[in-house]
Amino acid sequence: MRIHPIWQLWYNLLREKLVKLNLFDTQSSDSNIVRREILTTRLFLILLAVSAIILTLYTSLSVQISNGFVSSPTHVVYRNLDEKYPDTLKCPCEKISIPYKTFVQTVPLMHQVCSSPFVSQSWIVFTFNINNSRLWSMDVRTQLSTIWQLISALCQSATNTITHVLNEFVESSLISLTILSENLLKAKTQAALDLVRQKASSALIRPLTLINRIAQTNLFMTALSTNYITFLWYQFELKKLAVSFIETYYILKGSTNNCICLYNESCPIAGNVFFYDPWDTYGVFDMNTIIANQTLPGLVFDCTPLQTTLGSTLECFYNQSCLDILLMTYQNTINISILDKALPSRFTPASTIDILINELFIEQILNETNYNSYYSQCAPVYCSYTYSHRFDWIYVATTLIAFLGGLNVTLRLITPYLIGLILFLKQKKYKQNKSNNNERLPIQVHLKILCQKVQMSIMNFNLFDNHSRDPFEIKRDRIATRVFILLFVIAINVLIINTSISVQTITNTIQNPSQMQYEKLLERYSTTLKCPCNIISIPHKEFIQITPIYHQLCESDFIQSWWYNSLSVKGADYIPNNFVFFAASYFRTLAMFCEIADLTIVDAIRRFSSIMFVNAQVISHNLFDSKTKDIIDTFINSTRAEFANSLSLINEVVHANQYISGMLTNGGPAIVNVSSYITSVENPYRIVWFNQIGLKTNNQTCSCGIDPECDRGLLGINVFRTIPGISDLRIRGAAYFGFLAKLCKLSQTTIKNAIDQFLETSFISSQIMPQSQFNIQMNETTSQFETNTLVQFSHVLQLTRDVIDKNTFISTHLLNWHWSVNSIDLYQTIPAEAIMLNNECSCGVRSDCSESGGIYTSFSNIKNFTMPGINVSCSVVETLMQSTFECLYNQTCIDEFQHYATTVPIVISNATNVTAMKSMLSSRFSSHIAIRDIVNSDT
């Protein structure tokens, strides 16, 4: 009961205060003015309240975008931020280039065949030790040893290739301005590894294809009688024995068509086993009459061991029954297990070796990406992110506080005029309703009254009104107002003049500008414009498209098989000078060049497209065109150099080893009776080789055994050779040192081209680094460049040596295979036999067999001089690879060699004035290191 009167009292007091509230009090005693001020106050409060309510609702309900910032975040903090703000989180790395080796570990898992007993030397020797003279040439056992020699060599080459490219990969760097999420990092790493696998595959397939095609187009003869047979016959007119090479003809079962390796390049036949001795078919093998006893699944027979290998599968070697059938055909026994079908593999037993080689025998590349290590290397400087939200009361409060001040001033200025306008309109309407008879004042009077009011307002304008009624204070406040306005105008003018004269540096930021905006900005602000790229590494394929245009020859009929097969000469006596006899091979070779060029260019474009163009800032159109032109020019030059280097290296190996061509373009065979030279010989008849000598067009004499560019204009003298032992250095010394000279020249060209390409690459760093760190990084970069260059060169050389040797191509030097004439019949096929060195090492199962070389007494095995460091092997190239420079550093050794060479029959006419190499010169190689190790050295 006592509370109610108190509340009533407070209510009445508050109501009275609100009714009389006057925020625009001018201390006027005029009731109309006071009433107007109270109305103005009420309108002001209403407008202020409504504005505050609307502003509060808007700021509360609208979506706000806020920015977050964390300095030097830990991994845990970053992970939490990434979970919350995956789309907007950006964390710049301290280092934009991070080596993969700091956070990635890779291990390649190879197909089980590469570690199986089938690639062991014991299995290779076991399958080789069979009497080929009692086997049909298309019996799968004829090539079985070479198949596994090739698989073993290709496995080793694939392993070395993938190991090298993986080492190259981990030495390369991941380039990114900002840190990558764990999933994105793993995806990028896997994508990079996929590119590495493609690069490794092309690094093996390109030279392998080139080697295979060069061998096919040159028609090299295998020692296994698969594409040519060596035929001994009697020339009745001349009354002497003669030797000829006859191309093999294969007639497939159920067919009457011939397949000739000379013309068809490939004649695949099912891998058969024949349990009966062959008879002479004079090179024609009709599978309709020559019936196989057993066909081994997965194995095929073809013109060369490499073609046989590529076309075969491992199906038989997964099957115990098939392997048992094969093993029972050998006199000896061996304990060997089949391949395990239970082991997981992405290949099937029916996958061809060609498929396995294209995949580098790789089952899987294990990739362990350590995100913690990556994060510590990136070391984000800060993390920034944006997020949207509503009902942020702090934002609402700050917005209200910020706006209410200005709103208060604005409403205080306009509210009195609004009230005045309302009252004016109301009064005007009232006067119109009161009397329509009152005479209207002329417009001149209205204008005069308006001017008087404006003048009075200006005279009475007072910014410093303190509501005093003292005339002196009112006058002082008005004078102060006028002085204030005058000084304000002067200050504004001074400020305008100052800002107009002074140079101001203004930084403008345009988010996500379009290309048109960028180009307009570049025209106006070319020297100061900076536009950081969101992605600093962009694959070339995103903005460069390369389409090769080949010479018209490569699209003409001249490289079509129907054209060059139509030029094949059959049944005519061979005339070495006549272009008709090798026209088919000539155009086949042109087709090969077009094919290999296309393969090389397509592969190079694929690799080029994945290379990153790195630039932190957007560059101008002109600079972009200049850079891309340089990039494309470098790509074209490097592709040409790569093709030329590989072709030259393979060609030099082939020429140095002087493999017999079925077209006899580099010599011809003959059979001689050596009993007049060598006493107590078991087989007096031997097939030997004559090198043909011609004249170049500039009338300089040249031999195809020495100069690969020999033009066959005129036939000259036949040089008889190969009767002395294979280790006599006088017989093939020119070939050894000739290949050494070519190898030096090729290595110099390769290194020069590699250096030119290296100097075109970019050094990437987000900031300047101390000189010591710069030196360390440059040393690592140049060391990696040196390793890559040497490995690529030695890889092609090693692959060429392996594939050529394992194909059993017979050399005119007769260092690897020779023909054995056990009896003289009028017409007979002569099989080739592998050379067996004095240490019982057979060139049929190993290409690195060797024995010391020197000077021998003519037509005997009596050695008069041993040349230190020279180890004669199964080919000219292998001889050089197995040898050292030991004697070439010793003048006494050189002089002694020349003494015996010019005095022991067969003699060299004149000694040569040659000086030994200087052993005092600094070298990282000793005089006793094998040339093979010098070529393969990457340290």
Helices 771-806 and 182-218, packing angle to 10 deg: 40
pLDDT tens digits for 188-220?
999 889 888 988 898 899 999 999 999 988 889
Tokens in use for 649?
A: 């290296």
How many other CB atoms are there within 10 angstroms of residue 465's CB atom? 15
Q: What is the pLDDT confidence band of residue 699, given thresholds at 50, 70 and 90? A: very low
pLDDT > 90? residue 100: yes
> Helix H segments across 62-130?
75-84, 121-128
- Model confidence over 283-328: pLDDT tens digits? 889 999 999 899 999 999 999 999 999 999 999 999 999 999 999 9
Phi, psi of 663 (to 5 degrees): -85, -5
Identity of the amino acid at 352 = T
pLDDT value at 696 more than 50 = no
Which amino acid belongs to residue 577?
N
Dist. CA 626–CA 621, nearest whole Å: 9
Six-digit token string for 264? 């068809």
Lowest mean pLDDT among 173-182, 329-338, 578-587: 578-587
* Range list of β-strands (E), 528-576: 537-539
What's the DSSP call for residue 580?
A: G
251, β-bridge pairs: 258, 286
Question: From CA 937, how far away is CA 939, in angstroms rounded?
Answer: 6
Q: How far apart are CA 701 and CA 151, in angstroms?
A: 43
Other beta carbons within 10 Å of 5: 9
CA 105, 111, 114, 117 torsion-angle sign: positive
Question: Which tops the pLDDT comparison, 787 or 598?
Answer: 598
DSSP state of 781: H
Q: What is the DSSP string of 265-286?
A: S---EEEEE--S-----TTEEE
Residues 6+ apart with CB under 8 A from 886: 868, 869, 893, 927, 928
Nearest to 685 by CA among 782, 486, 828, 781: 828
**Residue 162: exposure state from Cβ atoms within 10 A (0-12, 13-18, ≥19):** buried
Tell me, what's the pLDDT at 830? 84
For 378-470, list the strands marked E by DSSP: 382-389
**8 A C-beta contact, residue 265 and residue 273:** no
Q: How many CB atoms lie within 10 A of CB 14?
A: 10
Residue 719's DSSP bridge partners are 691
Contact 846, 120 (CB under 8 A): no
Q: What is the structure's pLDDT at 3?
A: 54
pLDDT given for residue 785 in this prediction:
78
| 782 pLDDT tier (thresholds 50, 70, 90) | confident
- Identify any residues that bridge with 66 across adjacent strands, giving them in sequence order: 387
**The pLDDT of residue 34 is above 80:** no
Strand (E) or helix (H) holding 673: strand 668-673
Residue range 57-80: mean pLDDT, rounded: 85
Q: How far is CA 766 from CA 171, 176, 747, 913, in A?
A: 18, 10, 36, 59
Distance of CA 736 to the CA centre of its chain: 36
Name residue 229's beta-bridge partners. 246
Q: Which of 94-103, 333-342, 662-671 has the lowest mean pLDDT?
A: 662-671
- Among 669, 915, 616, smallest CA distance to 810 is for 669
Q: Is 235 helix (H, G, I), strand (E, B) or coil?
A: strand
Q: What is the pLDDT of residue 353?
A: 96
Q: What percent of the chain has pLDDT over 70?
A: 86
Contacts of 334 (CB under 8 A, 6+ apart): 122, 123, 126, 327
DSSP assignment string, 684-700: -EEEEEEEEEEE-TTS-
Q: Which helix (H) or strand (E) holds 882?
A: helix 876-882
pLDDT of 631 above 90: no
